Amino acid sequence: MTASVSAPALLDTAAELDAYAPGGKRAVVMTMGALHEGHASLIRAARALAGPAGQVVVTVFVNPLQFGEAADLDRYPRTLDADLAVAGAAGADVVFAPSVDEVYPGGEPQVRISAGPMGERLEGAARPGHFDGMLTVVAKLLHLTRPGVALFGQKDAQQLALIRRMVRDLNFPVEIAGVETAREPDGLALSSRNRFLDPHERRTALALSRALFAARDRLAAQAALHARAQAAGATEDRAAGLNRLGEPRLAADAQAVARARPDTGPAVVRAAARAVLQEAGAASPPLDLDYVALVDPADFTEIPDDRTAGDAILAVAARVGATRLIDNIPLTLGATP
Ligand X SMILES: Nc1ncnc2c1ncn2[C@@H]1O[C@H](COP(=O)(O)OP(=O)(O)OP(=O)(O)O)[C@@H](O)[C@H]1O
Ligand Y SMILES: CC(C)(CO)[C@@H](O)C(=O)[O-]
- Let me know if 256 is exposed, middle or buried by CB neighbors in 10 A (0-12, 13-18, 19+): exposed
Please state, in angstroms and rounded to a whole number, the distance separating the CA atoms of residues 226 and 249.
22
Question: Contact letters (x/-) for ligand Y, 128-157, by CB under 6 A?
Answer: ------x--xx-----------------x-
> Does the protein bind ligand X through residue 123 (CB under 6 A)?
no
Instruction: Quickly list H helices, 110-198.
Output: 123-126, 130-145, 157-169
Any known ligand binding at 134?
Answer: no
Please state, in angstroms and rounded to a whole number, the distance separating the CA atoms of residues 137 and 112.
9
Helix (H, G, I), strand (E, B) or coil at 89: helix
Interacting partner of 190 out of ligand BAL, ligand X, ligand Y, none (Cβ under 5 to 8 A depending on kind): ligand X
Any known ligand binding at 35?
Answer: yes
Please state, in angstroms and rounded to a whole number, the distance separating the CA atoms of residues 127 and 121.
10
Please state, in angstroms and rounded to a whole number, the distance separating the CA atoms of residues 90 and 285.
36
Question: Binding residue for ligand X (CB under 6 A) from 38, 119, 124, 265?
Answer: 38
Any known ligand binding at 154?
Answer: yes
Assess contact for 141 and 60: CB atoms under 8 A.
Answer: no
> Does the protein bind ligand Y through residue 181 (CB under 6 A)?
no
Q: For the chain, how far is it from start to end, CA to CA, in angstroms?
A: 46
Binders of ligand Y among residues 48 to 107 (CB under 6 A) are 63, 66
Any known ligand binding at 226?
Answer: no
The residue among 46 and 303 lying less far from ligand BAL, judged by its C-beta, is 46
> Does the protein bind ligand X through residue 98 (CB under 6 A)?
no
The residue among 134 and 182 lying less far from ligand Y, judged by its C-beta, is 134
> Does the protein bind ligand Y through residue 31 (CB under 6 A)?
yes
Which span sits near ligand X by CB under 6 A: 109-117, 174-182, 234-242, 256-264?
Answer: 174-182
Torsion angles phi and psi, residue 197, rounded to 5 = -85, 130
Question: Binding residue for ligand X (CB under 6 A) from 130, 155, 216, 218?
Answer: 155
Binders of ligand X among residues 63 to 82 (CB under 6 A) are none
- The question of whether 39 is a catalytic residue gets the answer yes
Residue 65 vs residues 14, 182, 274, 286, 306: alpha-carbon distances, Å: 19, 26, 33, 30, 39
The residue among 152 and 270 lying less far from ligand Y, judged by its C-beta, is 152
| Cis peptide preceding 285, ω within 30 of 0 | yes
Closest CA to 162 of 191, 192, 189, 139: 139
Assess contact for 29 and 39: CB atoms under 8 A.
Answer: yes
Binders of ligand BAL among residues 214 to 233 (CB under 6 A) are none
Shortest reach from residue 132's CB to ligand Y, in Å: 12
> Does the protein bind ligand X through residue 266 (CB under 6 A)?
no
Please state, in angstroms and rounded to a whole number, the distance separating the CA atoms of residues 302 and 131.
19
Question: Binding residue for ligand Y (CB under 6 A) from 17, 27, 28, 30?
Answer: 30
Binding residues vs ligand X (CB under 6 A): 31-32, 38-39, 41-42, 152-153, 155-156, 179, 181-182, 189-193
Annotated binding site: 32-39, 66, 153-156, 159, 182, 190-193
- Binding residue positions for (R)-pantoate: 66, 159
Instruction: Show which residues are catalytic.
Output: 39
Positions touching ligand Y (CB under 6 A) are 30-32, 63, 66, 134, 137-138, 156, 159
